Amino acid sequence: MALFATPQGEIAALLNQHFPLLGFAVPSLPGKPLRFSDARELANAFTQLGMYRVLSLSDLQQPITADELARLSPTEIEQVNYWKPTSLGQIIFNAWD
C-alpha cells in the first residue's frame, strides 16, 4: 500500500501481490473495513503507465459470485469462508490482512 496526499484527502493505492491489479481506498485503521474509492486523477496516472489494470469503485464493490469463487484455490476458498468478504475488492486485496 502507498499513501498519496490529494486535494480531497489522503488516498491509499492498493496493489495485488500476484497480479497487476490496482485499486484505491480511503486509509483506515487496522481492523476496519476498506472503503474503496475511484481516485480518478491517480487512476489516470497509473493507467498511463501501462503496467496496471486499475479497478474502478464499481469493480471493487462487485458482489462475490460462484464464478469468481470457482477461480480460487482451496486455500483461498478457506480464507474467504473464514473472513467472509462481501466484495471482489476485499478478496483481490486481502482486506482481512
Per-residue pLDDT of the chain (97 residues; tens, 9 = 90+): 889 998 888 999 999 999 999 999 998 877 777 899 999 999 999 999 999 999 999 999 999 999 999 999 999 999 999 999 999 999 999 877 6
Cβ count within 10 A of residue 82: 9
Task: Give the integer Cα–Cα distance in Å for 89 and 32.
Answer: 14
Where are the alpha helices (H) located in the chain, listed in sequence order? 40-49, 57-60, 66-70, 74-83, 88-92
